[in-house]
Structure 1
Amino acid sequence: MGNETSTAVEPMTGLRESKKRETRQLISDQATRLFIAQGFEETTIAEIAVAARVAKKTVTNYFPRKEDMALDHQEEFVGSLAHTVATRGAGESALTAMRHAFETAVAAQNPVAGFAGPDFARMIDDSPTLSVCLRSLHDRREEALTDALAQATGSATADISPRTAAALLGAVHRVLFRRIQELTLAGRTNDDIAQAVADEAARAFDMLEPALGDYAVA
């Protein structure tokens, strides 16, 4: 009897979670469509609720901040560099791991690396709120990277070495992210951008090699 109840509950729980994910994605998609069409600052929560066919309170339950609807892969972005350090291969430095991860992201034209398309890039560039939010995400990503480097080297998080290394590595990623945005806004295709940024990224990472080539080797 107990097993039958458990079996019955599990599909219901899975169905509810699936429905929640669908609703969240629907709200995010409709919000982004409106932000692109009429501007982030100009779009209201009420308009998003109407477009998604949900109550206004439902929108705010899923997204307490309006900018979270536009930048809805925040945790993946914030944790990306730290994850690269944590999963680097034996004998691989943090710098080498990040170089390889960025090369892979560019080759795949990954949106988390900045390949989000002209409409999305323009939406962020035109919005002071989203621009500030993006800078905050870069800051949070650097903080997470500091923690990962401290753990990888057995250092205290407050130690200057992991903080400096994270600042240098984070700065290169900020520059390259912004470069992808600039080329996107200039009307370049993703294929052209990937080719240009791959060459520029190689030069940027080479500049860090003397300082970080042997740092945080697994």
Structure 2
Amino acid sequence: MAEGLRERKKRQVRQRISDMATALFLEHGFEAVTIAAVAEVADVSVNTVYNYFPAKEDLLFDREEEVVERASRLVRERGEGVSAVRAVLDRMRRDVAERNPYAGMDPGYARFLRIIQESPTLMARVLRMQGRMVDRLAATLREETGAAPEDPTPEFIAHQVIGMQNAVDRSIGRCHTAGSTPEETSAEVLRQIDVMESLLSDGVLNYAVKNTP
């Protein structure tokens, strides 16, 4: 369904507020910035900010649902003969090799990480997001495989996959902080992905291979 004018305007206002807030957080830190300050720079009322973002941390994590859903979507959309874990690994490699900003390959990602690490509120939100990612992926794996409710395998695999994603994110951040060039960061993180894959058992790597209908 095509996006209507009203929906498009609401999306644009929401994005502008989030962008303005992120710029303030980068300059002053998350804790120092008030909702009133965000409303002022975005030229909207405080109530409007809260209508779009019920919690202050929502301003920075405006794509949370997309992030939480991503691993599950990659698993659901994997091709025939591809396992769940390899679907995610392949996408991680491609994002890093192509230096995709979405994957944190933009050098500015280090500043974004620093904002989060300096704020207990944001760190708590990240942990909650990671938990949601595991829960969502475990549910997807259980659905894809038809695993019984008492089977712990889907949740175990989900923890492995999200753990790898977290490790890659941290490695990218460390490379940026160390002043590595995009090319150096890409090469180093790809090497680390290879190491992670080598440590996984065949049972994990070949879990939930998609069969021909």
**TM-score by structure 1 length?**
0.88
Q: Distance in 1 between matches of 2:21 and 2:84?
A: 37
Query: What is the CA RMSD across the aligned residues, in angstroms?
Result: 1.9
- Name the aligned partner's letter for residue 78 of structure 1: V
Which structure has the greater CA radius of gyration? Answer: 1
Please say if 1:156 is aligned against 2:148: yes
Cα distance in 2 for residues equivalent to 1:119 and 1:38: 12
Unpaired runs of 5+ residues, structure 1, are: 1-10
d(CA) in 1 for partners of 2:104, 2:149: 28
Q: C-alpha distance in 2, partners of 1:151/1:21?
A: 32
TM-score, normalising length from structure 2? Answer: 0.90
Which structure 2 residue ranges, 5 or more long, are not aligned?
Answer: none
What is the aligned-residue identity percentage?
38
Runs of 4+ in 1 over 4 A off after TM superposition: none
Larger helix proportion, structure 1 or 2?
A: 1
1:187 and 2:168 matched: no
**What SS does the corresponding residue of 1:35 show, helix, strand or coil?**
helix
Partner residue of 1:210?
Answer: 202
Q: Which has the higher contact order (CA 8 A, sep 6+)?
A: 2
Which residue of the other structure, out of 142, 166, 173, is the alignment partner of 1:174?
A: 166
Instruction: Specify which of 70, 74, 96 is matched with residue 86 of structure 2.
Output: 96
Counterparts in 2 of 1:122 and 1:187: CA distance versus 1, 3 Å: farther
Aligned letter for 1:40?
F
Alpha-carbon distance in structure 2 between the residues aligned to 1:110 and 1:128: 28
CA offsets, 1:28-61, max 9 Å, x none?
0110011011110110000000000100000000
C-alpha deviation, 1:188, in angstroms: 2.2
2:94, 2:194 → 1: CA distance? 13
Query: How far does the alpha carbon of each residue in 1:160-191 deviate from its partner, in whole angstroms, 9 at most, with x for none?
Result: 11111111222111111111122222222333
Within the alignment, does 1:140 sit opposite 2:140 as a pair? no
Aligned to 2:68: 78
**1:121: which partner in 2?**
113
Query: Residue 65 in 1 paired to residue 65 in 2?
Result: no
